A and B are shown apart, each in its own frame.
Chain A
């Protein structure tokens, strides 16, 4: 039996080493510049493999000793320091320092270990080597899991015994030194047993044995919620006397023995099924990323395009109709949230006014200011005159001189990136195989149609942001020059156009998406970073709206013109499926 475990363990470690080495070489080969210099031969260089193997053993040893010793070492250190304090402040009720040390150490360890099993029982996660061994090389899943569990627990035991030596040297009782490692094993078995029982119940109800992410989050929340109580308990000088602690420990140990029997009795099928349902290879994660493309496949076939739209106009209209929810959800939700905030603010103001001055005065104020609004004037009222304090002046300054800041909310509301993803995966990806789709004139025609479409999709957020800025202006005295309200809306619109044309042009000039809709490509990333950085600086530039609007109008026109030229010139070569 032991030699069988030894063989399995050797295979696992060997496989881990090979996977680790090959992954390292693969990652290096994928690194820009360096990658092209690395030959394929590196995969089969024995010398480097040996170096990696040695490195792997060192890491294993580090995990064996340092990790375990460090974890338990902190607990013993805390118990050591606190036991001194308890003696000094006479909190130990006649107990010796060694007994207090032991009690605190055991108490802290129980909390630590129970939190540990609540948060994480990793034995049923199917790592790369487990997947190869069980599902490709047909190794017995239980034997493999048993081997890895025993190996892991052996490391834990040895590490804890070594850590316990330091505790004994600093005054911990002897029972703590040997008791903790055994208790740790039993708590681990308790976790494993509970996990297996959970799987058995799920199997009865024909459910997946996947370790639920939600359950993980719930357990993590429970632990995080419990920690403050624990800290307060200790900080107040309380401690659990020996007898209750021994009883609790005994119960946990008994539960651990139960867990061990459950573990021993578990059959290979449940191990195999659990591993199958918890595959966690990075490659498989890529497949689950592929599943993300499913979110782009929610196409509704309802209706068709009415009217006399033809060619690319027809294509675009159909695309928008069939992807309406996907394209419009974000800007619509953003607009509704902004509208709700504005309504709440106005409502709160009117309610405050009503409670102070009564309903007649309130109606008067509302009607007067509604008239003021539609006639492009500012807030005006005799009972609650315009505020002159610095807050009002600040909002007025922002609404008049920092309109470039609207780029932040507009970028949040903008859905152009996701729209280009949907364009690629559901439309262009297939049409790019047809020659007509690569013709310069047709590319620019579709680009223009799509740009207009993106601008239309952003109209809601543009109006919401423009109205918000105008409301600040209205509440702080109204416009300073005729047409300022309209200028604010115009600025919001131009900023939105800039955002839309940027994303669309990047898509045409770099076509960064793979068939998994993941954006890749160094040039694309660098350009995006530059654009983000420039935008991040520009949003802080103060400029009064009557200067900003004409400047922005010229810049936007020039930018759109330039980007169209770039797309016209380069897109036939750049806008294509990534090979």
Chain B
């Protein structure tokens, strides 16, 4: 399975944020979407997730590059993890999970609610507390857990490790790695080390376009310099 983005353009007034984005993402891989602050990573995700309108372009799934069949992207195909997790604060973690499983008729849970919590390492004493009282990291875990249960074809992770402590960040990385099979994961970050550590391929979002970076020479000390140079604007050199 491949996820194809074809000629995506998004403008805010006269400012062109995404200029003719054209890219193919492959199943079973984690893509590190690397870009500078304000480069349009969240805009890109919001366009794909249907949260904002875009000026032109299209997205679809196909079996492989030789396949003629295009499958339109449906809301249920997408899992979206936002950097600042928002959860329905009036529910407890357990109530939220129960509700989530009930509204997804198509899902046959392979675990009990507590087993799901255990899998995501949600502390026991948090499970029956209101979500509004959860820490940032635990809210993030809840969001991730629900996306794992829904098992979408395409996972959009918008800087999910930002402001997490090292332990939770490491736990989340392991979960993301363990979930990559059978789906396409696009992980946005502006932190080069995180991208290098977690992702199978790095894609730069720079000047409104997606550019793949060869990660074969990952061990090479010059790799980081290469990316930094690629992201650097002409203005930065002056």
Contacts and interface: CB of A to CB of B under 8 A. Distances in A.
Q: Does A associate with B in a complex?
A: yes
B167 interface: no
A39 B80 CA distance: 34
Contact of A439 (B76, B80, B95, B152): B76
A314 B80 contact: no
A301 interface: yes
A208 B91 CA distance: 36
Interface stretch (B81-89, B189-197, B227-235): B81-89
A301 B130 contact: yes
Nearest to B77: A435
A444 to B, nearest CB: 13
Contacts of A310: 102
Interface string A323-351: 10000000000000000000000000000
Contacts of B90: 299, 318-319, 322-323, 426-427
B215 interface: no
B103 interface: yes
Contact of A435 (B13, B14, B75, B95): B75
Contacts of B91: 315, 318, 322
B99 interface: yes
B52 interface: yes
A390 interface: no
Interface string A407-436: 000000000000000000011011111111
A431 B88 contact: yes
A576 interface: yes
B76 A435 contact: yes
B160 interface: no
Contacts of B86: 429-430, 433
B78 A435 contact: yes
Contacts of A39: 14
A311 interface: yes
Contacts of A573: 50
A304 interface: yes
A285 interface: no
Given A297-B89, A431-B88, A314 B98 contact: yes
A188 to B, nearest CB: 47
A577 interface: yes
Interface in B50-97: 50-52, 74-82, 85-92, 95
Contacts of A45: none
Contacts of A577: 51
Nearest to B105: A311
B132 A311 contact: no
A242 B78 CA distance: 86
Nearest to A427: B88
Contacts of A311: 99, 102-103
B102 A314 contact: yes
A301 B150 contact: no
A456 interface: no
Contact of B95 (A297, A318, A430, A433): A318
A376 interface: no
Specify which of A311, A572, A576 lies most central, judged by the most chain B CB atoms within 10 Å of its CB: A311
B226 interface: no
A201 B90 CA distance: 42
Interface in A288-323: 297, 299, 301, 304, 310-312, 314-315, 318-319, 322-323
B82 A426 contact: no
A142 to B, nearest CB: 38
Interface string B108-149: 000000000000000000000110100000000001001100
A297 B132 contact: yes
A36 interface: yes
Nearest to B90: A322
Contacts of A36: 13
Given A426-B90, A579-B52, A434 B98 contact: no
A299 B91 CA distance: 9
Given A297-B89, A430-B87, A434-B100, 10 more contacts: A299-B132, A311-B99, A319-B90, A322-B91, A435-B76, A435-B78, A435-B79, A577-B51, A579-B46, A579-B52
24 contacts: A36-B13, A299-B89, A301-B92, A301-B130, A304-B92, A304-B95, A311-B99, A314-B98, A314-B102, A315-B99, A319-B90, A427-B90, A430-B85, A433-B80, A433-B82, A434-B146, A435-B75, A435-B76, A435-B152, A436-B75, A438-B50, A573-B50, A576-B51, A579-B51
